[in-house]
């Protein structure tokens, strides 16, 4: 390793808030820009660059050429266990920066990184070797977090990026659970929008819909809310970290929902829509149990309903819901009537709502609350749940 | 279109709008890094992008997302365009997501809403930051209604005047976009709820009616005014305008009749003189007016019945024609309002609501001959 381009450790501190080690290092700009592109290309958490023609970054470009010291960048090692403090040597740090660049994420300093890369490219293209040499041999400070878990990474990103619009909670959740795209939950697999397939099998779900549903559980709100304040986002993450202590909440959410779909399918005798027996004003919301309950509206209604029942202490958690699902039992006729009625109500909602999607979500939220609330008359009763939830929906909206 | 983001003082001029199968993008030819994606979940059909269309923004208190209607000219029997909530452009939950005709208009509407945003909005498009996606229901109002007309169906689109259609559209609750509080009557809601896929409208064609007054009436006055007496006075001006037309015509006829008389034809002289005297009376002109318009029997019957309910409460004689009911109502309000009992104001309002409907049919069907 060429001594000139080594990473030099300055100090090591323990961040007790996020339970990780924070190491301050100094290195040459050349060392950093060598790995910066790899960091940017390989990390799904990185956001899009912003180029603004006449803002502070244009000024920064010029200042860098004059040898300014830019504020420390903050990086985190994605999926790294906390090292022993005695093992944190310059060589150890060099190894991380050089060979684990694809596991590094920029928590703060994304635009500064782009600016450094821009300056290097500009000077290479202009052929000004002297100035290029001057710039890349300037010193740069970096704070490196090692041992941060995913939640901690997101928390730090939020608190460090106070100058920018925060990432929505939904986006954060998506990133947090993106591992599940590669590793199924029991027999359940997730499909993304980039996959050229639809979630046709019973055990397949569209990842973004599940995320929306889980987000609704955390927010206790079935409506898609992306514009939250920084404080709301942090509170949302903290709520998740508290609940998530002993059990993987996301996993519980998915498995419970899937169990509900399977049970409803079973008790309705695998209901299918009959257009002649049940004419509607337009296409039905869904023609099978799966097509009804695999829609985002059902997911978010379910998530919000369970969240609220939990807040009202009417259920303990997903286990209580699991029990309620097991309690669902009918003769086929009743359950068929219930789903036919559900489709009819959704058709009516489509014709009278100013925002159909939101109205459908609200209706599903009331439906699942009726179905899983032990203190309600409709507990475990599909027919009554459909009827009572619809009346509640009408009273709240029209 | 002009765009401003909350994290910068700059005003971005985005002069490049691209509509391709993969999506709709707004960008700037001056700044290659500025690309804003526009949220449009419907299937893009860009067939009309290069064609001249007209887009107007309306409101309708009674709308629902699924209320997507084709607009037909009642007399020409040709489709002029479509009218639908802005919400229909950002949702896949309504019944028209697979309707290719609608999708062509919807894509064109998106195109115009973006391209003409400088004219349609009060200022630049406001976004949180340069990474933001443009949501059309956030830069416009989510309850805006889009009325979009095609050059193919409205051949003289350049000379087209939407104001001629305001009364016909008002009948179904549509009024030009405005920001202040609105007062609409529930009978309009009934008209609106009877719509099914198509709205048939006709323009004002009679150039003897004061178009400027009619435009103001149906885009401002009736939308904002709550007081029944003021509403009646404003509405009755329509009757006054048409009666003046009747007066001029009948006067011409009488003068012509008098002029044609032979000397010594005393009998016909007195007949023509009586006609001339009659035409100066409101009641006579009102009768003539009702002969020159086409009002549905149901509407006339409703008006007569509701007016008679009110007259009954006031201890006044019942009427058996729409014109006599209108005339009596007019006299009560113009000459006897000081004695009008407050407890019957709701009944009066009901009568006026039906009168609104009746007058729209009058001004749209009035023919001089």
| Residue B123: predicted pLDDT | 85
pLDDT at A1: 39
Chain B nearest CA to A292, separation (Å)? 13
Q: Closest to A356 (Cβ–Cβ): which among B31, B66, B131?
A: B66
How many angstroms from the chain centroid is the CA of residue A391? 33
Mean local confidence (pLDDT), A312-333 = 84
Residues 6+ apart with CB under 8 A from B326: B239, B286, B303, B307, B355
Assigned token pair, A31: 């060392």
User: Could you tell me the CA-to-CA distances from B169 to A244, A323, B202, B361 in Å, in that order?
Assistant: 56, 55, 9, 12
Q: Which residues in chain B are closer than 8 Å to A352, comparing Cβ atoms?
A: 64
Confidence of residue A43 (pLDDT cuts 50, 70, 90): low
Is A50 near chain B, with CB under 8 Å? yes
How many angstroms separate the CA atoms of B14 and B28, rounded?
A: 4
Q: Is residue B36 helix, strand or coil?
A: strand
Write the CA distances from B280 to A199, A308, A343, B286, integer angstroms: 78, 73, 64, 11
Indicate which of A225, A351, A397 best probes the interface with B, i.e. most B CBs within 10 Å of its own CB.
A351
**Per-residue pLDDT at A123 exceeds 60:** yes
DSSP SS3 for A126:
helix
What is the reported pLDDT for B162? 92
pLDDT at residue B258, as a whole number = 78
pLDDT tens by residue, A259-312: 999 999 988 888 999 999 999 999 999 999 999 999 999 999 999 999 999 999
Q: Do A52 and B142 touch (CB under 8 A)?
A: no
**pTM attached to this predicted model:** 0.82
**What's the pLDDT band for A4 if we cut at 50, 70, 90?**
low
Binding-face residues of A in 218-257 toward B, CB within 8 A = 227
Distance CA(B35)–CA(B29), nearest Å, equals 10
Q: Is the pLDDT of residue B89 over 60?
A: yes
Give residues 365 to 384 of A whose Cβ lies within 8 Å of B. none
Query: What pLDDT, on a 0 to 100 scale, did the predictor assign at position A200?
Result: 75
Taking only the tens place, the pLDDT of each residue in A341-360 is 999 999 999 999 999 999 99
Whether residue B80 contacts residue B150, with contact meaning beta carbons closer than 8 Å, is answered with: yes
Interface check for B142 against chain A (CB to CB < 8 A): the answer is yes
**Integer CA distances (angstroms), B291 to B241, B305, B342, in order:** 16, 20, 35
Give the relative orientation of helices A29-42 and A110-126 as an angle to the nearest 10 degrees. 120
Q: What is the pLDDT of residue A2?
A: 40
Q: Whole-angstrom Cα distance, residue A81 to residue A20?
A: 9
* Segment (H or E) for A256: helix A249-267
Q: Is B249 on the interface with A (CB under 8 A)?
A: no
Least confident residue range of A40-54, A337-351, B129-143? A40-54
Average pLDDT over residues A78-88: 74
Mean pLDDT confidence for A161-181: 64
C-alpha distance from A209 to closest chain B C-alpha (Å): 15
Backbone conformation region of residue A320, classed left if phi is above 0, alpha if psi is from -120 to 50, else beta: alpha
- Cβ distance B129 to A281 less than 8 Å, yes or no, reads no
Q: For residue A213, which of A155, A263, A170 has the smallest C-alpha distance?
A: A170
Confidence of residue A162 (pLDDT cuts 50, 70, 90): low
Residue B8, chain A, CB below 8 Å: the answer is yes
* pLDDT for the residue B92: 94
At residue A46, the pLDDT reads: 57
Provide the number of CB pairs (under 8 Å) joining chain A to chain B.
58
| Nearest C-alpha in A relative to B94 | A350
Nearest CA in chain A to B90: A355
Q: What is the mean pLDDT of residues B323-343?
A: 93
List C-alpha distances in Å: A354 to A124, A126, A363.
57, 58, 14
Supply the mean pLDDT for chain A: 83
* Residue-level pLDDT at A225: 64
By mean pLDDT, which of A173-177, A282-286, A350-354, A378-382 is the weakest?
A: A173-177
Task: Provide the token pair at B30.
Answer: 């001056």
Q: Which residue has better confidence, A347 or B224?
A: A347
Chain B interface mutation, best of A111, A167, A354, highest count of B Cβ atoms under 10 Å: A354
Q: To probe the interface with B, which of A46, A47, A51, A52 has the most B CB atoms within 10 Å?
A: A52
The separation between the first and the last C-alpha atoms of chain B, rounded to the nearest angstrom, is 50
Q: In chain B, pLDDT over 90 holds for what percent of residues?
A: 51
pLDDT at A231: 61
Query: Touching check for B31 and chain A: CB below 8 Å?
Result: yes
| Token pair listed for A139 | 């010193």
Taking residues B340-366, report their average pLDDT. 91
Q: Is A385 exposed, middle or buried (0-12, 13-18, 19+ CB in 10 A)?
A: buried
pLDDT band per the 50, 70, 90 thresholds, residue B186 = confident
State residue A56's pLDDT score.
Answer: 60
Q: Does B208 touch chain A (CB under 8 A)?
A: no
The 3-state DSSP composition of chain A as helix, strand, coil percent (nearest 5) reads 55, 10, 35
Helix axes A129-136, A110-126, angle to 10 degrees: 150
A237-241 LR contacts (CB < 8 Å, sep 24+): A237/A151, A237/A154, A237/A155, A237/A158, A237/A169, A237/A172, A240/A151, A240/A173, A241/A151
Give mean pLDDT, residues A360-367: 98
* Confidence at residue A149, expressed as pLDDT on a 0 to 100 scale: 73
Verify whether the Cβ–Cβ distance A52 to B8 is below 8 Å: yes
- The reported pLDDT for the residue numbered B270 is 80
**3-class state of residue A92 by DSSP:** helix
Of the listed ranges A129-133, A361-365, B151-155, B193-197, the one predicted with least confidence = B151-155
Is the pLDDT reported for residue A85 higher than 90?
Answer: no
Assess A52–B contact: CB distance below 8 Å, yes or no.
Answer: yes
- The model's confidence at residue B103, banded by pLDDT at 50, 70 and 90, is very high
Tell me: the pLDDT tens digits for B267-284? 778 877 887 888 888 888
* Mean per-residue pLDDT, B1-18: 82
Residue with the larger pLDDT of the pair A45 and B80: B80
Task: Give chain B positions within 8 Å (CB) of A351.
Answer: 64, 66
- Tell me the pLDDT tens digit for each residue of A185-230: 888 988 876 655 667 788 999 988 998 898 899 889 998 766 555 5
Whether A90 has a pLDDT exceeding 90, the answer reads: no
Give the residue among A46, A44, A47, A68 at the shortest CA–CA distance from A56. A68
Instruction: Report the candidate in B215, B79, B58, B60 with the shortest Cα–Cα distance to residue B149.
Output: B79
For residue A40, pLDDT over 80 is answered with no
- Average pLDDT in chain B: 88
pLDDT of A257 reads 97
What pLDDT is stored for residue A53 in this prediction? 45
Confidence grade of residue A54 (pLDDT, cut at 50, 70, 90): very low
Alpha carbon of B276: minimum distance to chain A alpha carbons (Å)? 56
At A333, the pLDDT band (50, 70, 90 cuts) reads low
Q: Which of A159-168, A239-248, A263-272 has the lowest mean pLDDT?
A: A159-168
Specify the pLDDT at position A330.
67
Q: Which of B8, B33, B131 sits opposite A47 (nearest CB)?
A: B131
Is B143 at the interface with chain A, CB within 8 A? yes
Minimum distance, in Å, between the CA of residue A59 and any CA atom of chain B: 15
A353: closest chain B residue by CA: B64
Query: Binning pLDDT at 50, 70 and 90, where does residue A232 land?
Result: low
Mean pLDDT of A246-258: 86
Of B190 and B288, the one with more pLDDT? B288
Query: What is the arithmetic mean of pLDDT over A357-369?
Result: 97
pLDDT tier at A391, thresholds 50, 70, 90: very high
Q: A57 vs chain B: nearest CA distance in angstroms? A: 12
Residue A66 has pLDDT above 50, yes or no: yes
pLDDT band at A94 (very low <50, low <70, confident <90, very high): confident
């Amino acid at each position: 390793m060429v001594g000139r381009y080594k990473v030099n450790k300055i100090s090591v501190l323990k961040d007790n808030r996020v339970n990780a080690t924070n190491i301050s290092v100094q290195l040459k700009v050349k060392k950093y820009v060598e790995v910066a592109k790899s960091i940017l290309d390989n990390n799904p958490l990185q956001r899009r660059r912003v180029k603004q023609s006449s803002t502070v970054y244009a000024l920064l470009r010029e200042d860098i050429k004059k040898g300014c010291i830019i504020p420390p960048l903050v990086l985190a090692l994605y999926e790294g266990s906390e090292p022993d403090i005695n093992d944190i040597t310059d060589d150890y740090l060099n190894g991380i920066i050089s060979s684990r660049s694809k596991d590094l994420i920029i928590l703060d300093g994304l635009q500064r990184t782009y600016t450094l890369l821009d300056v290097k490219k500009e000077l290479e293209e202009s052929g000004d070797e002297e100035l290029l040499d001057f710039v890349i041999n300037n010193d740069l400070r970096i704070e490196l977090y090692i041992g941060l878990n995913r939640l901690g990474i997101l928390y730090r990103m939020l608190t460090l990026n106070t100058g920018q619009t925060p990432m929505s909670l939904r986006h954060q959740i998506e990133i947090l659970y993106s591992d599940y795209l590669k590793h199924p939950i029991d027999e359940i697999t997730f499909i993304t929008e980039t996959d050229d397939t639809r979630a046709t099998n019973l055990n397949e779900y569209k990842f973004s819909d599940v995320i929306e549903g889980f987000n609704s559980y955390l927010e206790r709100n079935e409506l898609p809310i992306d514009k939250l304040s920084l404080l709301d986002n942090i509170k949302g993450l903290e709520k998740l970290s508290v609940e998530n202590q002993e059990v993987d909440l996301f996993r519980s959410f998915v498995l419970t929902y899937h169990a509900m779909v399977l049970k409803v399918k079973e008790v309705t005798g695998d209901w299918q829509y009959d257009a002649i027996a049940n004419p509607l004003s337009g296409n039905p919301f869904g023609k099978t149990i799966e097509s009804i309950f695999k829609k985002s509206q059902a997911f978010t209604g379910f998530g919000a309903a369970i969240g609220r029942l939990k807040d009202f202490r009417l259920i303990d958690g997903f286990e209580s819901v699991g029990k309620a699902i097991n309690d669902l039992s009918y003769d086929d006729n009743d359950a068929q009537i219930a789903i036919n009625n559900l489709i009819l109500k959704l058709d009516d909602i489509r014709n009278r709502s100013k925002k159909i999607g939101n109205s459908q979500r609200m209706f599903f939220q009331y439906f699942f609350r009726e179905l899983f609330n032990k203190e309600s008359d409709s507990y475990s009763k599909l027919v009554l749940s459909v009827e009572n939830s619809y009346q509640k929906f009408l009273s709240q909206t029209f | 279109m002009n765009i401003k983001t909350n994290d910068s003082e700059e005003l971005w001029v985005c002069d490049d709008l691209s509509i391709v199968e993969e999506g709709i993008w707004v960008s700037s030819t001056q700044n290659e890094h500025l690309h804003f994606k526009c949220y449009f979940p419907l299937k893009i059909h860009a067939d009309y992008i290069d064609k001249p269309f007209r887009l107007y923004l309306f409101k309708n208190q009674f709308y629902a997302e699924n209320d997507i209607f084709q607009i037909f000219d009642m007399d020409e029997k040709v489709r002029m365009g479509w009218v639908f909530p802005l919400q229909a452009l950002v949702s896949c939950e309504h019944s028209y997501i697979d309707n290719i005709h609608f999708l062509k208009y919807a894509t064109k509407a998106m195109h115009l809403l973006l391209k003409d945003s400088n004219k349609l909005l009060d200022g630049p498009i406001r976004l949180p930051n340069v990474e933001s996606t443009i949501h059309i229901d956030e830069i416009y109002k989510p309850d805006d209604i889009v009325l979009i007309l095609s050059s193919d169906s409205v051949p003289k689109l350049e000379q087209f005047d939407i104001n001629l259609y305001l009364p016909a559209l008002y009948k179904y609750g549509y009024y030009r976009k405005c920001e202040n509080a609105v007062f609409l009557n529930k009978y309009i809601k009934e008209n609106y709820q009877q719509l099914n896929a198509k709205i048939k409208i006709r323009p004002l064609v009679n150039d003897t009616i004061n178009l400027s007054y009619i435009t103001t009436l149906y885009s401002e006055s009736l939308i904002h005014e709550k007081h029944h007496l003021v509403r009646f006075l404003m509405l009755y001006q329509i009757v006054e305008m048409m009666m003046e037309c009747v007066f001029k015509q009948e006067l011409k006829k009488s003068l012509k009749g008098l002029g044609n008389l032979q000397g010594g034809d005393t009998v016909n002289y007195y007949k023509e003189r009586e006609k001339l005297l009659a035409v100066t009376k409101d009641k006579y002109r009102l009768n003539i007016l009702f002969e020159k318009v086409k009002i549905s029997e149901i509407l006339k019957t409703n008006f007569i019945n509701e007016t008679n309910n009110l007259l009954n409460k006031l201890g006044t004689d019942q009427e058996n024609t729409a014109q006599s009911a209108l005339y009596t109502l007019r006299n009560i309000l113009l000459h006897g309002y000081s004695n009008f009992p407050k407890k019957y104001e709701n009944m009066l309002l009901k009568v006026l609501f039906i009168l609104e409907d009746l007058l729209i049919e009058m001004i749209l069907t009035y023919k001089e001959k």
